[in-house]
């Protein structure tokens, strides 16, 4: 049998979804928007107020009689922990429920150190960030994590990740959840970057492809304003598509030969430049050479852009996105990379598919992943079903 609180909670999540746009509304306005009885709206609003999901706004609205209180979404009601773990670097953040950063940390943290070492550092750093922004673990509603490899969406476990030794099948959500005591969601890092860019200002774009070109290469897909993961979460793993190239027989870390990542990824470019006598330990060193005007590095980046462009031209013809965003460390090469990409995309794609296509560099840069990880948790925890369940618990 439902209690009074449980009855009130049923449907409160849908009311919260309306208020999440940031606009303060009175009870009368909510009645008009929902078509519900005033008593029903009041019950649901009181349930949200009891948990401070909404709060009375600063303004009162008067229509000639007694001023009416307006209510607004309380973005500070809970906080989110977010992590974007790359091949060599990590970025962590504490955000509010509007994905506004309260504290942030970037550090060198090679994913190859293995899951327990990396995740122990993650937990310790999260605790430091909570202290830094004056919040407690009890305020956290969830943790979002992006990993640089294939992730089975339903379980959050990495599956045969080429650049993550020791991580295959590791129960990341369970391991972190046991130590932090909150829900944990894990996804591929490029999916998080696509979600972060979409949330931060691309929400008017229905169909978007985000391409990360760093140590490896992958893409995240926004289709119909929703993140598209595919059946198991493997959608967008373009780094292991075989491409025609002068290096088409080069071995890839996945075990195949001629993969896009092995030909045009940052690690491959750094290795070729090292062989030519340059000090390029990683992708960022490649970009440094490009910015310094090194002709060999510039030519190599442009050719890498062309090779990625071959794959993206097929995606444009198949998926017909309105926008392609380029992120990852190699995006720091700017127009040198974009020139090669655009050259091939526009020449090999159908005119109708490229008629209004925009190809540009990510605006969030290396913050896209951590923003997306926060958004993943926010959208999950603030879904109408999750809010109703939390209020009835």
Query: What pLDDT band is residue 202 in, cutting at 50, 70 and 90?
Result: confident
Res 255: pLDDT: 87
Instruction: Give the closest residue to 193 by CA, choosing from 383, 376, 336.
Output: 376
Structure tokens at 384: 């109408």
Res 22: pLDDT: 84
Asked if 53 and 14 count as a contact pair (C-beta separation under 8 A), the reply is no
Separation CA 286–CA 273 (nearest Å) = 8
Separation CA 265–CA 245 (nearest Å) = 13
Backbone angles phi, psi at 327, to 5 degrees: -130, -165
C-alpha torsion sign, points 223, 192, 325, 283: negative
Res 374: pLDDT: 98
Asked if 105 and 121 count as a contact pair (C-beta separation under 8 A), the reply is no
Res 66: pLDDT: 59
Task: Tell me yes or no: is domain 79-194+369-392 CATH 2.60.40.650.
Answer: no
Structure tokens at 66: 């007694």
Separation CA 370–CA 152 (nearest Å) = 19
Query: What pLDDT band is residue 1 in, cutting at 50, 70 and 90?
Result: very low
Q: Does residue 8 have a pLDDT over 60? A: no
Q: Does residue 59 have a pLDDT over 80? A: no
119-139 per-position pLDDT tens digit:
999 999 999 999 999 999 999
How crowded is residue 257: how many other Cβ atoms within 10 Å of its Cβ? 14
Q: What percent of the chain has pLDDT over 70?
A: 94
Establish whether domains 79-194+369-392 and 202-362 are of one fold. Answer: yes
Q: Residue ranges of the alpha helices (H) in 10-151?
A: 12-19, 27-34, 38-50, 115-132
Separation CA 230–CA 239 (nearest Å) = 16
Tokens 């609180």, residue? 5
For the question of whether the overall pTM of this predicted structure is more than 0.85, the answer is: yes
> Greater confidence, 110 or 66?
110
Res 2: pLDDT: 41
- Give the residue extent of every domain in the chain: 5-73, 79-194+369-392, 202-362
Res 133: pLDDT: 96
Separation CA 108–CA 89 (nearest Å) = 4
Res 204: pLDDT: 86
Residue 104, sorted as left (phi over 0), alpha (psi -120 to 50) or beta, turns out to be beta
Mean pLDDT, the chain, as a whole number?
A: 92
223-237 per-position pLDDT tens digit:
999 999 998 888 999
112 beta partners: none
40-58 per-position pLDDT tens digit:
999 999 999 999 999 997 6
Helices 368-381 and 384-392 sit at what angle, rounded to 10 degrees? Answer: 60
Q: Does residue 3 have a pLDDT over 80? A: no
Using a 10 angstrom Cβ sphere, with 0-12 exposed, 13-18 middle and 19 or more buried, the burial of residue 127 is middle
Query: What pLDDT band is residue 4 in, cutting at 50, 70 and 90?
Result: very low
The 3-state DSSP class for residue 90 equals: strand
Q: Does residue 63 have a pLDDT over 80? A: no
336-366 per-position pLDDT tens digit:
999 999 999 999 999 999 999 999 999 999 9
Please name the fold of domain 5-73: Arc Repressor Mutant, subunit A (1.10.10)
Backbone angles phi, psi at 55, to 5 degrees: -140, 155
Q: What is the CA radius of gyration of the chain?
A: 23
- Looking at 3.40.47.10, 3.30.420.40, 3.90.1520.10, 3.30.460.10, the CATH number of the domain 202-362 comes to 3.30.420.40
Query: What pLDDT band is residue 60 in, cutting at 50, 70 and 90?
Result: very low
């Amino acid at each position: 049998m439902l209690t009074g609180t449980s009855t009130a909670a049923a449907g409160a999540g849908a009311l919260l979804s309306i208020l999440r746009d940031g606009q303060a509304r009175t009870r009368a306005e909510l009645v008009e928007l929902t078509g519900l009885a005033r008593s029903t709206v009041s019950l649901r609003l009181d349930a949200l107020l009891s948990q401070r999901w909404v709060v009375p706004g600063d303004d009162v609205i008067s229509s000639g009689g007694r001023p009416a209180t307006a209510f607004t979404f309380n973005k500070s009601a809970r906080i989110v922990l977010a992590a974007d773990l790359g091949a060599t670097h990590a970025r962590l953040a504490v955000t509010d429920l509007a994905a506004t950063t309260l504290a942030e940390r970037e550090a060198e943290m090679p994913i190859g150190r293995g899951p327990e070492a990396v995740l122990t550092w993650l937990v310790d750093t999260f605790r430091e960030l909570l202290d830094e922004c004056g919040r407690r673990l009890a305020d956290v509603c969830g943790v979002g994590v992006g990993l640089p490899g294939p992730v089975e969406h339903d379980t959050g476990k990495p599956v045969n990740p080429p650049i993550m030794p020791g991580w295959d099948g590791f129960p990341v959500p369970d391991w972190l959840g046991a130590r932090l005591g909150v829900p944990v969601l894990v996804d591929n890092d490029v999916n998080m970057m696509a979600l972060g860019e979409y949330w931060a200002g691309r929400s008017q774009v229905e169909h978007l492809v985000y391409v990360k070109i760093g140590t490896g290469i992958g893409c995240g897909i926004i289709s119909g304003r929703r993140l598209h993961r595919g059946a198991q979460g493997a959608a967008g793993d373009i780094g292991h598509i075989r491409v025609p190239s002068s290096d088409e027989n080069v071995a890839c870390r996945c075990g195949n030969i001629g993969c896009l990542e092995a030909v045009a990824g940052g690690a491959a470019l750094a290795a070729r430049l090292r062989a030519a006598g340059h000090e390029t330990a990683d992708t960022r060193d490649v970009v440094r050479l490009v910015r310094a005007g090194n002709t060999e590095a510039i030519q190599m980046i442009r050719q890498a852009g062309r090779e990625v462009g071959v794959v993206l031209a097929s995606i444009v013809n198949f998926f017909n996105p309105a926008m392609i965003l380029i992120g990852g460390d190699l995006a720091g090469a700017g127009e040198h990379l974009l020139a090669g990409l655009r050259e091939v995309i526009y020449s090999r794609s159908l005119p109708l598919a490229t008629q209004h296509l925009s190809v540009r560099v990510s605006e969030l840069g290396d913050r896209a992943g951590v923003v997306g990880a926060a958004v993943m948790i926010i959208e999950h925890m603030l879904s109408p079903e999750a809010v109703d369940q939390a209020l009835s618990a």
